[in-house]
Amino acid sequence: MSKVLVIGAGGVSTAAVHKMAENSDVFKEIIIASRTKSKCDAIAAALPDANIKTAQIDADNVPEMVKLINEVKPNLVVNLALPYQDLPIMDACLETGISYLDTANYEPIDEAKYEYSWQWAYQDRYKEKGITAILGCGFDPGVTSIFVAHAVKHHFSEIHYLDIVDCNAGDHGKAFATNFNPEINIREVTQPGKYWENGKWIETAPHEIHQPITYPNIGPKESYLIYHEELESLVKNYPTLKRARFWMTFGQEYLTHLRVIQNIGMAGIEPIMYEGKEIVPIQFLKAVLPNPGDLGENYKGWTSIGCRIKGLDKQGKEKTYYIYNNCSHEVAFKETGTQGVSYTTGVPAMIGAAMYLKNLWKKPGVFNVEEFDPDPFMAELGKWGLPWVELHDVDLEL
Ligand code: NDP
């Protein structure tokens, strides 16, 4: 009998808990705990047949988290709160001896910088305690890295060039909105670009490098080179990579809004004084922007995320390969009440948790998802709503 403690009650949590409830052979009992308990209750109310309990928690508070974990006694803690909570939740898991899974790497609240060093630093302590940390088990990071592991296991002897291509061709009908937590999203996409080439990181100005890329069943979309966290673990785990890049589509309207937001200082992460009260501009902005979890109802169109890889096949011959998933916002909403971006993150988080609970991805230490066997995960992905397509020896455009 498996019991999970899910932290956070936003869009990703809503999608993941829906899928956990559907997969009740594995997830017998689900406890959702978050800062605002009413949001946990709303998720539970939408799933009346599932065995779900809810609780209030400030996950930044390690002793409170330890108390909650000791009360609940879960088999796994699934962190679907924000990247700021990764370390306190990892600390609480370490203290209580419970394994951990998340979908985004740690980011300090006062510095828009994300890297794995903070979480990788737990490696020895998790190993000694005999517990597992599964890092970055959403879509990107998450499925994209598992796609790479699958490609290496089944099709390549060496991979040399990797381009992760992420297209959201959906339309939510709003002038400006972000698809997941606005604060985290805006911090991510306004960063300088960065990619790996010939053994070193090359930095670019934000959105400096862009070109049209053709996405299956969508067509060409202007795509921008940005830094994305899975590049860090992939170049470490696949040292044959000569180049690794990440591309994301943005519409002109989105970029114009983003530029204005930055130019007027609303993307700032430093606190400012407003009417005698300290506020952080980007947190205030989040409060006035549409809630990503509420975009689903009118969202039309598709996401398409995949990996384009060039290298040597098992016989040592040059090979190109493209593996991707297309996900419909409308289907995602119908199924879980969330839009495609929450869905494509929540489904892999549920499958990753199931991999641990079924003892398929269980080893002591801290791991990125590509360090586990991709086969059982890939076998589940289509079944739970994210079918994947492979194209061999095609023009990769990049
Ligand atoms: P939301 O903002 O919708 O949800 C975050 C939830 O965490 C909210 O319920 C929030 O509470 C809760 N929370 C925040 N701080 C705390 C705290 N201190 N203690 C307890 N709960 C807290 O975000 P999303 O659902 O869009 O995203 C969730 C995570 O998924 C993020 O880390 C994001 O980076 C990641 N992500 C990963 C992707 C991937 O492909 N790998 C893609 C998209 C997102 P409250 O309701 O009170 O605000």
> Is 48 part of any domain?
yes
Same domain, 130 and 89: yes
For residue 196, what are its two tokens?
């790996």
> Is 103 part of any domain?
yes
Same domain, 187 and 129: no
The H helix count followed by the E strand count for the chain is 14, 18
> Is 108 part of any domain?
yes
Q: Give me ligand 1 centre to Cα 286, in Å.
A: 12
Which residues share a beta bridge with 392? 321
Mutate to test the pocket of ligand 1, among 34, 336, 370 (most ligand atoms within 8 A of CB): 34
Q: Give me ligand 1 centre to Cα 82, in Å.
A: 4
pLDDT in tens, the chain (398 residues): 699 999 999 999 999 999 999 999 999 999 999 999 999 999 999 999 999 999 999 999 999 999 999 999 999 999 999 999 999 999 999 999 999 999 999 999 888 788 999 999 999 999 999 999 999 999 999 999 999 999 999 999 999 999 999 999 999 999 999 988 888 889 888 889 999 999 999 999 999 999 999 999 999 999 999 999 999 999 999 999 999 999 999 999 999 999 999 999 999 999 999 999 999 999 999 999 998 888 889 999 999 999 999 999 999 999 999 999 999 999 999 999 999 999 999 999 999 999 999 999 999 999 999 999 999 999 999 999 999 999 999 999 99
Chain centroid offset of residue 327 CA: 15
Same domain, 154 and 286: yes
Final residue of a structural domain among 102, 119, 135: 135
**For ligand 1, is residue 141 a contact (CB within 6 Å)?**
yes
Number of domains forming the structure of the chain: 2
> Is 376 part of any domain?
no
**CATH code, 219:** 3.30.360.10
Pairing of strands 76-79, 3-7: parallel
> Is 387 part of any domain?
no
> Is 151 part of any domain?
yes
Same domain, 195 and 291: yes
Identify the three-state secondary structure at position 67: helix
**For ligand 1, is residue 11 a contact (CB within 6 Å)?**
yes
pLDDT of residue 1: 67
**CATH code, 26:** 3.40.50.720
Task: Give the CA dihedral 266, 269, 273, 279, nearest 10 degrees.
Answer: 90
DSSP assignment letter at 34: E
Could you give the CA distance from residue 102 to residue 106 in angstroms, rounded to a whole number?
A: 10
Same domain, 178 and 312: yes
Nearest-CA residue for ligand 1 atom 10 is 8
**For ligand 1, is residue 35 a contact (CB within 6 Å)?**
yes
Same domain, 122 and 245: no
Same domain, 127 and 196: no
Q: Give me ligand 1 centre to Cα 81, in Å.
A: 4
Same domain, 209 and 129: no
**For ligand 1, is residue 102 a contact (CB within 6 Å)?**
no
> Is 363 part of any domain?
no
Same domain, 18 and 156: no
Which residues share a beta bridge with 327? 303
Pairing of strands 76-79, 243-249: unpaired
**For ligand 1, is residue 120 a contact (CB within 6 Å)?**
no
Same domain, 114 and 160: no
> Is 88 part of any domain?
yes
Domain ranges, residue 106: 3-135
Beta-carbon-side half-sphere exposure of residue 247 (alpha carbons within 13 Å): 24
Final residue of a structural domain among 101, 135, 169: 135
**For ligand 1, is residue 59 a contact (CB within 6 Å)?**
yes
Same domain, 58 and 161: no
Final residue of a structural domain among 304, 336, 368: 336
Same domain, 182 and 95: no
pLDDT of residue 112: 76
